[in-house]
Amino acid sequence: MQRVVAIIPARYNSTRFPGKPLASLKGKTLIQHVYAQASAASLVDYVAVATDDRRIFDAVAAFGGNAVMTSGTHKSGTDRIAEAAGHTECEIVINVQGDEPFIKPEMIDDVVNLLYNDERASIGTLAKKITDINEILSPHVVKVVMDNEGFALYFSRSPIPYYRNEWKLQNTEHRTRKTQHINTFELQTPDPEFQKFNCYKHIGIYGYRKDALISFSSMSQSRLEQIEKLEQLRALSAGMKIKVKETEFDTFGIDTTEDLRKAEEWQSISL
C-alpha cells in the first residue's frame, strides 16, 4: 500500500481563468509544473491529478503523469480529492493546489511529517509569519492563530490576533446607498515596530489522514464556514484537530491571466 499520496485537483471551467491548468508557463502547462513539484517530495509515494475534464486528463497522460476522472458536480477541490482518495489505498492524502506551480517539495514533506509525528492531528497545514502590514488588512489573505502545541484555534480573513494596545486605528466613515453609517479602519503602526508582532498567514496546502478526509467531505458546511467562506472552519467546528507548522516559504497562486504574466516575469524562480 502507498502510504502517502499527493492528489492535485484540477478543473477546466474556472470562472476567472477558463482552462487554467493547461495554460503555459515557461514552456510547460501549470498542471505539469505542480505535478513535478509534488513528485519531487521525498515522502510522497504516488502523485495523481483528479479532474473532471478529458482535456486535462489527456494532457497529464501525455507528460507521463497519473490522472483520474472524477465527478463534474463537486463544489470544491477537497471533494474532488476525496473521491479520488476513496479509490486509492493509502494512509495520508496531500491536497496540492493545481494553480501553485512554485510549491516547494519541502513544504509537502513538512505537511506529511505533521501527521507522522502527532497522531492527534487529523489534518496538517502550513503558515508563514506576516511581514507586510497590507497582508494583515487584506481579506484575501487568510490568517491563523495556534495554541501552544501548534494546533489551529481559528482561521479568519480579519486581522488575528488583534493587538489591542499596540495598533492604532484610523476611523473613517462612509455611507452606503441605503444611508447606513459604516465604519472602516486602517491599521497604523511603524514598519520597524511591526516586525515584533506574531501574525501568520495560512498557506493553503493540506494533509489529511484518509479517514478524516472522507469524513470531512461528507459533512455539511458549518455556520462559520458559510460566514468566512473558509472550508477549514468546517473541520474546526466539527472538532477535528488541525496541526500547523511555520514555514519560511511562500507560494504564488495563479488565479488570473495577469498572475500568469507576473509568474513568467518572476526571473528569480526557475522552473
The CATH homologous superfamily for domain 4-129+202-265 is Spore Coat Polysaccharide Biosynthesis Protein SpsA; Chain A (3.90.550.10)
Question: Rounded to an integer, what distance in angstroms lies between the CA atom of residue 168 and that of residue 189?
Answer: 6
pLDDT, position 168? 65
pLDDT, position 8? 97
Res. 263: pLDDT tops 90: no
Q: What are the sequence ranges of the domains in the chain?
A: 4-129+202-265
pLDDT, the chain, mean: 89
pLDDT, position 267? 47
Q: What is the pTM of this model?
A: 0.89
Confidence category of residue 187, pLDDT binned at 50, 70, 90:
low
In terms of pLDDT, which residue wins out, 79 or 194?
A: 79
Q: Which of 17, 39, 33 is nearest to 98 (CA)?
A: 33
Q: What share of the chain is helix, strand, coil (3-state, %, to 5)?
A: 30, 25, 40
pLDDT, position 213? 97
Neighbours of 150 (CB within 10 A): 16
Question: Rounded to an integer, what distance in angstroms lies between the CA atom of residue 245 and that of residue 187?
Answer: 27
Q: At what angle do helices 30-39 and 105-117 cross, to 10 degrees?
A: 50
Q: Which three cell numbers stand for residue 18?
A: 477558463
Res. 265: pLDDT tops 90: no
Mean pLDDT is lowest, of 94-103, 110-119, 228-237, 252-261, for 252-261
Neighbours of 240 (CB within 10 A): 19
DSSP state of 19: T
pLDDT digits (tens, 9 = 90+) for 195-207: 678 999 999 999 9
Q: Which three cell numbers stand for residue 138?
A: 487584506
pLDDT digits (tens, 9 = 90+) for 22-69: 999 989 999 999 999 999 999 999 999 999 999 999 999 999 999 999
pLDDT digits (tens, 9 = 90+) for 164-180: 877 765 555 555 555 45
Q: Which of 89, 24, 18, 22 is nearest to 61 (CA)?
A: 22
| Mean pLDDT across 91-115 | 96
| Mean pLDDT across 231-253 | 95
**How far apart, in Å, are the Cα atoms of 260 and each of 28, 97, 266?**
12, 15, 10
pLDDT, position 15? 79
| Mean pLDDT across 91-111 | 96
